[in-house]
């Protein structure tokens, strides 16, 4: 029931954006590609944190695994990007499952610290295995090639657009299905879930793997769009930024991921005129969001809608079902 009209909206959006981008220079196209990469990452994180209720500070590490894996596959083994990126994502998802096995037994700050520890371990591994990863000097990414032709900015934008749309579509369907219900169930009432015979641990572990898979795709895409990766791009700041996407957008919903990532990707660009104060102002705006809209921008929409409708019937727009 829910899948129909949003899919049409998605297709319309894809066509509109694709057409609009054809007329623009590479600067805005590049920015939009980066924003959509952020959306894909945010979707993954939201499944893990918003739906299954597990905080993760190492989401960017899975992006790193996806980025480095796909880059190295292309650079060393000549695997084309359309294969190396999915392979990188599978690798990331496997690592996610590996981390999830012990980590999903932890709660609250202990889980936060465990994921933080994992992030540091990945950072150090990237930096120390410099012969393979380029270490802190970073790694140049081979240009994405299709049928012998190097893909330009617009072509890569279309690829990112397609992947982003796919990510939105799959996540929505996932959440509407039994998997989605299980994810939310383990967050809302783990005891009841366990009592129903569903292995809470298995669901949580699956959430880790899923989130890591999305992150892996995002990482691989970032590598081909930017053309250069270094470990700092996937450090603590990146993880925290992704958390802000879902907190500001709205946790537990795909729309929240999209809105949060889009808005917070646009914000630094809007803050360019403020030059060296942009970080400070960005953080202040973030804090303001946290204080006044703690449940995310999607709730803003609901407040507006509710006021406009003024009806007696309960509007059952559940953000976190």
Q: How far is the CB of 172 from another protein (least distance, A)?
A: 10
Q: 176, 286, 299, 321: which one contacts another protein (CB under 8 A)?
A: 286
Cβ 107 to another protein, closest distance in Å? 7
- Please state, in angstroms and as integers, the Cα–Cα distance from residue 85 to each residue in 5, 155, 317, following that order: 30, 16, 36
Size of the site for another protein (CB under 8 A): 90
Residues paired with residue 194 on neighbouring β-strands, in sequence order: none
CA distance 226 to 143: 10
Among 1, 108, 147, 197, binds another protein (CB under 8 A): 108
Exposure string of 204-242, with b = 16+ CB inside 10 Å and e = fewer, is: bbbbbbbbbbbbbbbbbbbbbbeeebbbebbbbebbebb
- Token pair of 300 as six digits: 């803003």
Region of 69-77, 81-89, 132-140, 176-184 interacting with another protein (CB under 8 A): 132-140
The verdict on 283 binding another protein (CB under 8 A) reads: yes
Quick count: other Cβ atoms within 10 Å of Cβ 73?
21
Helix axes 236-249, 254-270, angle to 10 degrees: 120
Within residues 68-107, the interface with another protein by CB under 8 A covers: 102, 105-107
> Which of 78, 82, 140, 162 touches another protein (CB under 8 A)?
140
- Closest to 42 measured CA to CA, from 266, 300, 320, 259: 259
Q: CA-CA distance, 131 to 299, in Å (whole number)?
A: 48
Between 179 and 232, whose beta carbon lies closer to another protein? 232
Residue of the chain from 3, 11, 113, 318 that contacts another protein (CB under 8 A): 113
When asked if residue 138 is in the footprint of another protein (CB under 8 A), the reply is yes
DSSP letter string over 195-243? Answer: HTT--HHHHHHHHHHHHHHHHHHHHHHHHHHHSEE-GGGGSHHHHHHHH
Report the site for another protein in 10-69 (rule: CB under 8 A): 10, 13, 16-17, 20, 24-28, 30-32, 34-36, 49, 55
Cα 51 to Cα 181: distance, rounded to the nearest angstrom: 9
Residue 76 CB, nearest approach to another protein (Å): 20
Query: How many CA atoms lie within 13 Å of 3's alpha carbon, on the beta-carbon side?
Result: 9
Residues 84, 129, 205, 6: is their CA dihedral positive or negative? negative
Cβ of residue 96: shortest distance to another protein, in angstroms? Answer: 15
Among positions 151, 176, 301, 321, the unique one binding another protein when judged by CB under 8 A: 301
Tell me which of 121, 132, 146, 188 binds another protein, using CB under 8 A.
121
- 247-276 mask for another protein (x: CB under 8 A)? x---x---x--xx--xx-xx--xx-x--xx
Among 76, 137, 178, 306, which residue sits at the site for another protein (rule: CB under 8 A)? 137
Report in angstroms how near the CB of residue 69 gets to another protein at its nearest: 19
Binder of another protein out of 294, 303, 306, 315 (CB under 8 A):
294
Chain positions 178 to 237 lying near another protein, rule: CB under 8 A, are 190-191, 193-194, 200-201, 222, 226-230, 232-233
């Amino acid at each position: 029931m829910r899948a129909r009209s949003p899919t049409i909206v998605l297709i319309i959006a894809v066509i509109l954006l694709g057409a609009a981008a054809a007329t623009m220079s590479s600067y805005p196209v590049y920015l939009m590609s980066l924003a959509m990469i952020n959306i894909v990452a945010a979707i993954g994180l939201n499944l893990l944190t918003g739906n299954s209720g597990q905080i993760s500070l190492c989401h960017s590490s899975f992006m790193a695994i996806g980025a480095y894996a796909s880059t190295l596959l292309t650079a060393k083994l000549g695997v084309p990007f359309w294969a190396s990126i999915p392979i990188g994502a599978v690798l990331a998802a496997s690592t996610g499952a590996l981390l999830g096995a012990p980590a999903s037994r932890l709660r609250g700050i202990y889980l936060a610290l465990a994921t933080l520890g994992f992030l540091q371990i990945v950072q150090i591994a990237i930096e120390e295995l410099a012969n393979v990863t380029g270490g802190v000097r970073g790694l140049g990414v081979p240009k994405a090639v299709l049928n012998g032709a190097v893909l330009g900015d617009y072509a890569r934008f279309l690829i990112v657009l397609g992947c982003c749309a796919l990510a939105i579509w799959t996540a929505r369907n996932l959440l509407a299905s039994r998997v989605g219900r299980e994810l939310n169930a383990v967050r809302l009432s783990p005891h009841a879930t366990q009592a129903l015979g569903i292995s809470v641990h298995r669901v949580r572990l699956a959430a880790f793997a899923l989130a890591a898979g999305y992150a892996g795709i995002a990482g691989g895409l970032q590598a081909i769009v930017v053309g250069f990766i270094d470990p700092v791009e996937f450090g603590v700041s990146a993880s925290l930024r992704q958390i802000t996407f879902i907190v500001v957008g709205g946790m537990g919903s795909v729309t929240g991921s999209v809105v949060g990532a889009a808005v917070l990707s646009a914000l630094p660009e809007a803050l360019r005129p403020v030059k060296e104060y942009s970080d400070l102002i960005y953080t202040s705006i973030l804090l303001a969001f946290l204080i006044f809209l703690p449940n995310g921008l999607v709730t803003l929409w609901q407040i507006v809608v509710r006021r406009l409708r003024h009806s007696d019937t309960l509007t059952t727009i559940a953000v976190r079902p």
